[in-house]
């Protein structure tokens, strides 16, 4: 599978693994604005507190931290709990990169027979399946004639605790 630029411009085509059809995903993103936000140097402990005066502040741009291919990256909000054990919960915002080649073990956004889903890609011995990170959901295996399009690789998940 590969992602290649289309003739119409900065969109990319995700080539289907189980069908000879391909679908272009239009790029609605131009150049991202620079937004530098402060980040405290060091790490915050999740156990016992540490003295607060041991930190320095540096400014970071979230676009630079989360997005490596701006014209091939989009956000998608999660609906459901099939990936909760991977740390992806209902309402999280996924950062999805279409410029990366999906490989075994990547979490991907995929279109299966016209429906979109986020799952872990399992590709071994010529067989592909999409695996949830929640034991109450079934794996998605494919039969002849079914269509699977990998829309992109999930590179990050953004959580909101307060809105």
Give the tens place of pLDDT for each residue, 105-117.
Answer: 999 999 999 899 9
Mean pLDDT of the chain: 78
Active site residue 120: no
pTM of the predicted protein model: 0.70
Higher-confidence position of 8 and 54: 54
- Residue 3 burial (CB < 10 Å; 0-12/13-18/19+)? buried
Which of 4-8, 91-95, 125-129, 147-151 shows the lowest per-residue confidence on average (mean pLDDT)?
A: 4-8
Residue 57 pLDDT class (50, 70, 90 cuts): confident
Catalytic annotation, pick one of 119, 123, 129, 143: 119
Is the pLDDT reported for residue 33 higher than 70?
A: no
What's the confidence (pLDDT) of residue 56? Answer: 65
Query: Which domains, from first to last, does the chain contain?
Result: 3-28+72-158 (2.10.109.10)
The residue written with tokens 């999660």 in the block is 78
What's the confidence (pLDDT) of residue 118? Answer: 97
Pair of tokens at residue 115: 């429906």
Dihedral sign for Cα atoms in the order 9, 156, 108, 92: negative
Catalytic annotation, pick one of 43, 82, 156, 159: 82
Active site residue 82: yes
């Amino acid at each position: 599978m590969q992602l290649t630029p289309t003739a119409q411009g900065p969109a990319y085509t995700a080539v289907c693994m189980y069908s000879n059809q391909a679908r272009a995903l239009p790029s609605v993103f131009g150049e991202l604005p620079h937004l530098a936000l402060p980040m405290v140097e060091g790490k915050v402990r999740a156990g016992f507190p540490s003295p607060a005066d041991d930190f320095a502040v540096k400014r970071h741009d979230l676009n630079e931290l989360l997005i490596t291919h701006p014209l091939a990256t989009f956000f998608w909000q999660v609906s459901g709990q099939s990936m909760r054990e991977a740390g992806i919960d209902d309402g999280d915002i996924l950062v999805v990169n279409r410029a990366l080649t999906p490989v075994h073990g990547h979490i991907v956004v995929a279109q299966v027979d016209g429906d979109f889903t986020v799952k872990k890609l399992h590709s071994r011995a010529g067989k592909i399946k999409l695996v949830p990170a929640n034991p109450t959901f079934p794996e998605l295996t494919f039969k002849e004639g079914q269509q699977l399009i990998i829309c992109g690789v999930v590179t990050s998940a953004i959580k909101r605790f307060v809105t």
